[in-house]
Structure 1
Amino acid sequence: LPFWTSLLVRTTAWIAMLQSEGVVNDILVTTGLVGDENRAQLIYNQTGTIIAMTHILLPFMILPLYSVMKTIPPSYMRAARSLGANSLTAFRRVYFPQTVPGIAAGTLLVFILSIGFYITPALVGGQDGQMISNLIAFHMQSSLNWSLAAALGGILLASVLILYWLYNKLVGVDNLKFG
């Protein structure tokens, strides 16, 4: 369902839910976690940005992970258990190593998408957002410090290349599983 809904619509929905009179604060007041006079400030700050970005990017992590987990036969865990491993040891030594390509692919995908995020941090986080895409846009449009914007773009590119190199070393590009 999240893929069928526009990014702008989902971001706008988070703005409505995170406001001081929004659904999230109403639930916090109803449960007694915060008082009605001092509601939580969840919008136009880093907290709201992280909440909204997590909701928007979560499917990009879950889908590669699910596609890899679906291919692991349950008989592997049963075999480990029958050979004397407890549940935690079987998970750690049998199941988890086989999910590493999905974890790495999801992490790579979410990292690449999140560092280029612009709309959600700008709308939910306000004008003072410290996400790198917002800083690049600010230095390109407002301060006209194009050299700093280019340097930040270079840092962005270098970080993606380093993460891709790490993925290649740990998992191998041939094992890339996005779904």
Structure 2
Amino acid sequence: MLVVDDDERALRSIAAVLSADVDAVTCSSAEHALKLLAVRQFHLVCSDFLMPGMKGDELLRRVSSLPVYTSCLLITGADEYIRSMSGSHNYVILKPFDPDRLIGIVLQLSRLADMKRSVHSMTDSLGSQGPTGAAAGGEVVSCERPDGGSLPDSTPAPPTSRLGSRGAVGPTARGPQQGPELTRADPAAPGAPWRTCR
């Protein structure tokens, strides 16, 4: 994953929290992050919101337009973002955050990216081999939920998993953790702007 924050201390802290579970690359600006994304693929980009130059939400908008699916997570304590996030489509974790909760969300979003890439790869492969869907006697199934959400509510990241550099998931020595709680702004529900996935 790629972690972006202009605060060097915060950057080191996040990288240290995640170091036992994921391979994290760090950088201190959105502009540098875009240069890295042009030459490398990451399962997840985790960005601070308030940074000099390009803000984190703009960086994540650009990440979501990449040809290869990449999960996005915004970390913020900024009042400016909190006041305006009712119309946001970013996955968000607010500062100060619980380290185990951050690890759980990062693993869940990384698994989501791996799953979506596999589906896209399989779809591309089927497309190059001839007709698909009804013409091939089969059915193309979408991994999107009907309500537009991306993360399955019933499949939280296992608390004892390790994401390697190639996206493989395997055991780790980390002890039991509380299941992750993922919050996402939901513009479709103005009276209840937050949706919680467990």
Larger gyration radius, structure 1 or structure 2: 1
* Larger fraction in helix: 1
Same fold by TM (over 0.5)?
no
TM-score for the superposition, normalised by structure 2: 0.29
TM-score for the superposition, normalised by structure 1: 0.31
